[in-house]
Structure formats: C-alpha cells, structure tokens
Amino acid sequence: MNQRYIWNDPGWGLNDNAPDRATQFGDGLFETIRTAADGDIPLLEFHQQRLFAGLQKLRFNESAQQKALVALAALSELSEPSSCLKIMVSRGITDRGYAAAEDLEPLISVQVFSASPLVVSALNVGINTLRLARQPALAGVKHLNRLEQVLARQQFAPHWDESLLLDTDERVVEGVMSNAFLYIRGRWVTPELDCAGVRGVTRAWLLRNYPNISIEVITQSDLLSVEAMAFTNTLAGVRWVSDFDGRTLQQHSDCTVWQQDYMRMFA
C-alpha cells in the first residue's frame, strides 16, 4: 500500500443511508499538494485560494468552507516530507436527485502518497484527439467531473509523457495533467482558462512571479509558431518539452530559471 488516509470522514461511497454526492454526481472538489523536504507546503496559499474559489463556484455551503479551512490547517501542521497530499471534498450525502439541502454535512478526505523526486528531464508531448467541452460554469475549477481527462488519457501514444488538449473551438487549453506555457513569436503565453481547463497552482505561482508571461487565447494555428514549451503541475513542477507533435523543440533559458526556482522551494 503506497498511500494512507490521514483524514477520512465517515460516509464516503455507499454508506448505510445513501451514496455520497461525489460518488453519485462527482459533486466535489480536490487538490493535490506537494510538500517540501522539511514537510512545509510552499504553495498552500495558492491551493487554499483555488479550493475556495471552487467551493464558491459550485455553491457549497458555509460548513464546507469551514471544514476545508480546518483540513488545510491540519495539513500545514503535518510535516510529511516530500509527499503528495490529496484532499477531496464531497458536498455530502443525499438520497437521489440533484437537489441538495443547504445544511448538508460535507465530507473531507486526505490521502498521503510518497512523491516522486522533482526532475529536470524533458517531456515528449502529443496533441490529443479529444476536444474539451466549453463550460464557463465549471472552467478553472479542480472538480471531480474528470471523465474528459480519463478519455484523453486513453488516447496517449506509448511514447507520450503528456498530451496537449484543445477545446471544441480548437483553442489550446492545457495538458491532461498539467498547464501549458508556450513560447511563440518571442513571448511566453499560457491559455486563457475561462471556458475549460483547471487553473493550476504552479501556473498561478509562475504568473505571479514572472510577469513576462501573458494569459491569451491561443489557437491551433498558433501552435505552428511554437519555439519552446513547458508544462507545469504541482507534483512534477516545471518540465520543458523536447518533442512536441513530432517536432524537436529547444530548452528555453526562462524554463530553466522557473524549474530551478520551483525546485528550490521544495528542497
């Protein structure tokens, strides 16, 4: 067993009364959090911000916000060195039907996994055949409706490490497990995520610290002009791309800086 629970509210799954709403509808949120070598959580503030934005967007109740705060505070006391913490929040338990009472008791779970070391090696990235649906009501949120990612993961060629997803309007969105940064015509850009995609915590950290990255609408034809590329994910950090859709890309010096700065936070 390479994981353990450190928080596990009773009621997840099919309990006596009824299934919880994460199981029935994917009515919940999650965060995957990396801890540093000393057990500290350098990006906790970003995780908290995104989790709370999600709770608000899905209209979870006050109780869910309070419980999530307590769980995040508990995490910051944990001091699990170089680990991955996965927190899940379910809206609670209801019989059947989409309606949820306002006073539902939310469920929280936290799992601890050992995290792989952060590495500097490059990625081989292909373009996915699945197109993400455009849904502003869910965009940006790390919710538990992840069938698109499950289907996109099935499309991977054996030599791909990650895969770039476009939406049904052929706009670039993200990787299946990470956010995308593209160096096009001498500038770093990352896709606007107001219609699809997850607002990654490492993406937010990069955008705050490196003001030379712009958030833009990136179309499929822009991909022909890509000179360098990076993918980010809290667990894997910043990774540069050496092979994109069969083309060889060069490592950009900015990428190396981001990567080193990220690694330093977790050292």
Q: What amino acid positions are annotated as catalytic residues?
A: 32, 142, 174
- For residues 59, 62, 65, 68, the Cα torsion angle rounded to the nearest 10 degrees is -120
Other CB atoms within 10 Å distance of the CB of residue 242: 18
26 sits near its own copies (criterion: CB under 8 A): yes
d(CA 249, CA 255): 12
Which residue pairs, CB below 8 angstroms and at least 24 apart, start in 255-259? 255/228, 255/230, 258/206, 258/210, 258/230, 259/120
Residue closer to its own copies by CB (options 127, 138) is 138
3-state secondary structure string, 238-264?
EEEEEEECCEECCCCHHHHHHHHHHHH
Which neighbouring-strand residues pair with 239?
231
Q: Which is nearer to its own copies, 27 or 254 (CB)?
A: 27
Closest C-alpha among 127, 140, 133, 131 to residue 197: 140
Per-residue mark of binding to its own copies, 58-77 (x: CB under 8 A): xx------------------
Of the candidate spans 66-74, 95-103, 184-192, 226-234, the one that interacts with its own copies by CB under 8 A turns out to be 95-103
Quote the least distance from Cβ 160 to its own copies, whole Å. 12
Residue 10 beta carbon to its own copies: minimum distance, rounded to whole angstroms = 10
For the bound state, the minimum distance from the C-beta of residue 113 to its own copies, rounded and expressed in Å, comes to 6
The nearest distance, CB 5 to its own copies, in angstroms, is 7
Is 213 in contact with 189 (CB distance < 8 Å)? yes
- Contacts of residue 194, defined as CB under 8 A and 6 or more positions apart, other chains included, come to 136, 139, 140
55 binds its own copies (CB under 8 A): no
C-beta of 171: minimal distance to its own copies in Å? Answer: 13
Of the candidates 35, 48, 83, 149, which one interacts with its own copies according to CB under 8 A?
Answer: 149
Q: Which residue has the tokens 């999530």?
A: 68
Q: How many residues form the binding site for its own copies (CB under 8 A)? A: 63
Rounded distance between C-alpha atoms, residue 9 and residue 252, angstroms: 45
**Part in contact with its own copies (CB under 8 A); list of ranges 44-52, 152-160, 182-190, 223-231:** 152-160
Q: Does the protein bind its own copies through residue 192 (CB under 8 A)?
A: no
Residue 179 near its own copies by CB under 8 A: no
Residue 110 near residue 86, CB atoms below 8 Å? yes
- Summarize as ranges the residues that interact with its own copies (CB under 8 A): 1-3, 5, 8, 12-27, 30, 32, 58-59, 84, 86, 88, 90-91, 95-100, 109, 111, 113, 130-135, 137-138, 143-154, 156, 168, 176-177
